[in-house]
Each structure stands twice: as C-alpha cells, then as structure tokens.
C-alpha cells in the first residue's frame, strides 16, 4: 500500500516538475518574443534595471492590491499632477528617449506659455465663441460677433486680474476637474479640442511668435532628453502687425531657419524635420494643391522635409480611399498617414489602415484599430512599418478609458515596430514625451517588461525616423553616448 502511494506521489511530483518547467519556458518565450525581449543588458544597465523594476513592481503591486486607487484606470486629468512623485517617472525623465515622431506643432507648449503671450503688446481679443486673438497695429478688419478690443485694455478693466487670467488660461488647455462629466463622449472631446486650436491660432501665427515658439519648443524637447523631432504642421499662413499674410512656403522657411539656429546653439541636438500635414476634410481640388505644396517644399528645402500626411478627426474626415488615385500619383512624397484612430470596426475609418499600407506609408499615425486587423498587423510587421502610438492622446480623446486596455500591449507582445510619441502634449499639460513613456511603461506594458523595452522604444524612434542614413548613424552614435552617460552616472538612491 505504501509502495503504491510512494509511486503515485513520485509520479505526481515528476509530472508537476515537468509542468512547472514547461510553464516557465512558455512565460520566458513570451517575454523574449516581445518587443525588446531579445536584447542583453550589460552590468551597469542591470544595475539601473534592478532599481527601475523595484519601483515598477511597487507601483503595479499597490495598484493590484488597491484597484480602486490604480491611477491608470482613471482619467489622466485625475492623476497627472501626481506623476511627478513617481520614482519610475523620475528615472524615465532622466533617461535619453531618442526622438518624437508624432507631434503637432500648435500643441507642444502648455497653457501657461500661451497665457504669457496674451501680455504682449498689440494684441487684440474678440470674446466670441470661440475666443479669438490677433496681433495688429490697428483694430483688426476681421468679423467679430462682439467687438475687437486691446487685450491690455480688457485685462485692466476687470476687478480681479487673477481670476480673469485663470478663466483665460482655460482656453489653452483641455484639463479640467471633472473630465468624465465635461467629456462624456468623443464628440464633446473633439469639439473642445478644436476650440483649443482656434484660440491658440492667432497667438502663434504672428510671425515673430511662431519663430520664438518653435525655438522654445525645441528647447522643451531637449530638456526632456529628446534629440530629434519630426513635427506635423498644417503650415498656417503667418502674418505681421500690418496685416501682411504669408503663404505656406514662408512658414516652412521659418522652420528651416529656427532648426538651423537651434542646431548651431546645441550641436548635440540631431535636428528636426517637417511633415506637411494639412486637413483631411477637403475635396480633391484642394488635395491637389496640398500635394503641390509638399512637392515644392521637398524641392526647395529637402533637408527639412520628411513627408506628407492628412490630419483631423478620422471619423469626421474624408477616408484615404477617396484620394487614392491622387495619392498613387504622389508616391514621390514619403507618406506618414494617420490611420485607425478610431474605436469602430469594419468602417471606412479603420479601413484607412488598409489604404495607408497599400499606399506605402512609412509609418502609421496612431494605428489604434490595428489590433482588430490581424492580416494588416502581419503586413505591418513584414514591411517594417513603424506604428506611432500615442497612449495619452488616445485616452484623453475618448478612445480608451483604462489604459491597461490599450492595444499597445498587443503590439508589444507581438514585437511590432512600435514608436511611442505624444501627439498634442501641450493641450493637456504633459511633458513632451516622459509622461507618455511613464504611463505606457507602468500602465500598459507587462509588469515584467523592463529597461530592455524602454531602450528599444528609444532606439526605434531613431530607427523609424526620416533621417538620412548618415544622419541616422550619427543619431544612433549620439544616443549611445547619452545612454552610456545615463547608466554610468545612475544612482538609485537619487530616486
């Protein structure tokens, strides 16, 4: 009898050992096959990683034990001010992050920056809906439902300037105390989002402001440990105090001038390029003009021209399929199409992904709906098309509430060519890239994914950039220098 029991126990133990070993191998295989899983960290990197993962485990474990307090299941606005306290965030903030490849020029700097502009001379305001601003030597000859008045006079006429500025500041941010009430659906979110751009437009398109703003934006990127930027722009018509308006080429030339000046002042900054990205809500005649503009920029300023895109809310805009004949004729341009920024499935919106891939896009902007299209995911992987993922943007603009459900987790587990970016950080008061890296790393990725993933994401941002081969090599060398400096000087007790 005892012999039978012993044999059974021995057999069970043997089976159990085999099961545990098979289980361990399967878990390890998943980690190795995910993005970043196949790289090896050196001793110094492992020191950084041990510190980083200790803090990550603490945050994730606390959220697991207190799910009602897990920040990333709530709206970003409810926890954005707490991010600075996170030790994981502080490490990510100090880490070189490579490049930003998906960002819109008029939503980089935050609300305080725009509010400060309202203290400049010669600024007029129209308290219409939306509120508009315009710099001018005289009262603007532009329709206003009420009347144009000097901003300085409007401010001096109020009893409480602090409260006046607080209300004015709300024009330049989507952040609010009760986002679930203010933004119950994507309709309200995008309506407010467009109002933000309308209010900022006149402040930023005054030519001297535009140039200073972009220089300050590049400084902002550099201070967040970013070495290269590809900025999307509608190339708005800049203007002067006397009412002179310039065409899109002058705006592009302003970019070239500022990029050149910034690189001269900061030799370790790799640079910036322009993706011409006008509205997708146009007809074919207007698109033809857009394509001609893009070709002219490419011809006259090839050193800063990266490519072409069409922007705006995809659900409300024209799908790519409406423009396929023209876009097929424009393959001399590099495409970086927004595609799949939607929750819908089987619509013309998510099928923008199909046309983006068939048209030869170099990268896909957002690609949120890509996880619903397995064949397309395989195409993206086979063709090595970068996916510009913007976690915070997708959460704030009403695609996902709990970021643990963001498809980025699927993209990473399948080792798709992901690049993290930030879209419009100024509109919600986020850092140029650190906030997105942090929320993705703690709120979206596997608890077990570590410094290998962060390093790979940073390298991907350079790998999938539009830099020329020689400049890409230089960028990767500069990244190695900055990364080695980061790990060589890392002190866990500082975090």
In the chain, where the domains are located: 82-109+206-485, 113-172
- pTM: predicted TM-score of the whole model, two decimal places: 0.94
CA pair distance 306, 300, nearest whole angstrom:
13
Smallest CA-to-CA distance from 479 within 45, 98, 92 is with: 98
Token pair, residue 240, equals: 């002067």
What is the model's pLDDT at position 271? Answer: 97
Determine phi and psi for 492, rounding to 5 degrees. -60, -30
CB 311 within 8 A of CB 279: yes
pLDDT tens digits, 217-241: 999 999 999 999 999 999 999 999 9
Q: Does the annotation mark 230 as catalytic?
A: no
Smallest CA-to-CA distance from 306 within 103, 454, 98 is with: 103
What is the model's pLDDT at position 145? Answer: 87
Smallest CA-to-CA distance from 240 within 146, 138, 152 is with: 138
What is the model's pLDDT at position 13? Answer: 53
Secondary structure (H, E, C), 93-113: HHCCCCEEEEEEHHHCCCHHH
Residue 408 has pLDDT above 70, yes or no: yes
What is the model's pLDDT at position 130? Answer: 87
Token pair, residue 291, equals: 């394509």
CB 334 within 8 A of CB 318: no
CA pair distance 235, 275, nearest whole angstrom:
10
Instruction: Please tell me whether residue 308 adopts helix, strand or coil conformation.
Output: strand
Bridge pairing between strands 305-308 and 271-276: parallel
Instruction: Please tell me whether residue 228 adopts helix, strand or coil conformation.
Output: strand
Residue 6 has pLDDT above 60, yes or no: no
CA pair distance 21, 4, nearest whole angstrom:
26
Of the residues 341, 351, 388, 478, which is catalytic? 341
What is the model's pLDDT at position 362? Answer: 98
Sign of CA dihedral 363, 368, 369, 373: positive
DSSP structural state of residue 245: B
Of the residues 366, 388, 406, 478, which is catalytic? 366
Peptide bond into 273 cis (omega under 30): no
One CATH from 3.90.1150.10, 2.60.40.680, 3.20.20.140, 3.40.250.10 for 82-109+206-485: 3.20.20.140
CB 439 within 8 A of CB 76: yes
Confidence bin at 18 (pLDDT 50/70/90): confident
% the chain with pLDDT above 70? 97
CB 92 within 8 A of CB 438: yes
CA pair distance 134, 403, nearest whole angstrom:
39
pLDDT tens digits, 303-313: 999 999 999 99
β-pair partners for 420: 389
What is the model's pLDDT at position 20? Answer: 86
Residue 9 has pLDDT above 60, yes or no: no
Secondary structure (H, E, C), 438-490: HHHHHHCCCCCCCHHHHHHHHHHHHHCCCCCHHHHHHHHHHHHHHHHHHHHCC
Confidence bin at 10 (pLDDT 50/70/90): low
Sign of CA dihedral 343, 345, 347, 348: positive
CB 97 within 8 A of CB 435: no
Q: Does the annotation mark 341 as catalytic?
A: yes
CA pair distance 22, 60, nearest whole angstrom:
26
């Amino acid at each position: 009898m005892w012999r039978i029991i012993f044999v059974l126990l021995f057999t069970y133990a043997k089976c159990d050992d085999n099961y545990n070993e098979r289980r361990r191998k399967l878990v390890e295989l998943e980690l190795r096959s995910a993005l970043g899983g196949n790289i090896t960290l050196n001793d110094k990197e492992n020191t950084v990683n041990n510190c980083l993962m200790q803090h990550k485990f603490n945050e994730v474990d606390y959220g697991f034990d207190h799910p009602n307090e897990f920040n990333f299941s709530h709206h970003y606005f409810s926890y954005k001010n707490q991010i600075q306290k996170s030790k994981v965030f502080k490490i990510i903030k100090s880490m070189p992050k490579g490049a930003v490849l998906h960002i819109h020029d008029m939503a980089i700097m935050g609300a305080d920056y725009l509010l400060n502009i309202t203290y400049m001379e010669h600024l007029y305001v129209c308290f219409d809906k939306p509120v508009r601003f315009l710099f001018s030597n005289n009262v603007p000859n532009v329709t206003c439902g009420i009347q144009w008045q000097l901003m300085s006079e409007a401010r001096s006429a109020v009893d409480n300037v602090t409260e006046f500025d607080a209300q004015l500041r709300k024009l330049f941010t989507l952040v609010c105390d009760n986002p679930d009430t203010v933004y119950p659906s994507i309709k309200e979110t995008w309506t407010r989002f467009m109002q933000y751009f309308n209010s900022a437009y006149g402040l930023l398109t005054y030519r001297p402001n535009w140039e200073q703003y972009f220089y300050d934006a590049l400084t902002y990127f550099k201070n967040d440990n970013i070495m290269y930027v590809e900025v999307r722009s509608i190339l708005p018509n800049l203007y002067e105090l006397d009412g002179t308006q310039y065409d899109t080429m002058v705006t592009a030339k302003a970019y070239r001038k500022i990029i050149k000046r910034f690189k001269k002042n900061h030799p370790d900054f790799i640079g910036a390029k322009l993706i011409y990205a006008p509205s997708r809500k146009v007809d074919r005649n207007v698109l033809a003009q857009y394509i001609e503009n893009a070709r002219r920029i490419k011809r006259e300023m090839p050193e800063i021209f990266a490519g072409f895109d069409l922007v705006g809310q995809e659900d409300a805009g024209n799908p790519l399929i409406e423009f396929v004949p023209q876009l097929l004729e424009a393959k001399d341009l590099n495409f970086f199409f927004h595609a799949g920024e939607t929750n819908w499935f089987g619509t013309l919106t998510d099928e923008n992904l199909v046309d983006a891939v068939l048209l030869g896009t170099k990268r896909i902007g957002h690609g949120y709906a890509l996880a619903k299209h397995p064949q397309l995911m395989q195409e993206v992987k086979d063709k090595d098309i970068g996916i510009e993922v913007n976690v915070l943007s997708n959460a704030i603009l009403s695609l996902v509430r709990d970021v643990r459900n963001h498809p980025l987790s699927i993209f990473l587990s399948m080792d798709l060519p992901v690049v993290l970016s930030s879209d419009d950080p100024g509109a919600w008061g986020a850092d140029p890239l650190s906030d997105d890296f942090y929320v993705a790393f703690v709120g979206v990725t596997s608890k077990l994914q570590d410094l290998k993933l962060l390093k790979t994401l940073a390298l991907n941002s350079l790998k999938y950039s539009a830099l020329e081969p020689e400049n890409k090599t230089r960028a990767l060398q500069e990244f190695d220098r900055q990364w080695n400096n980061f790990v060589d000087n890392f002190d866990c007790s500082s975090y």
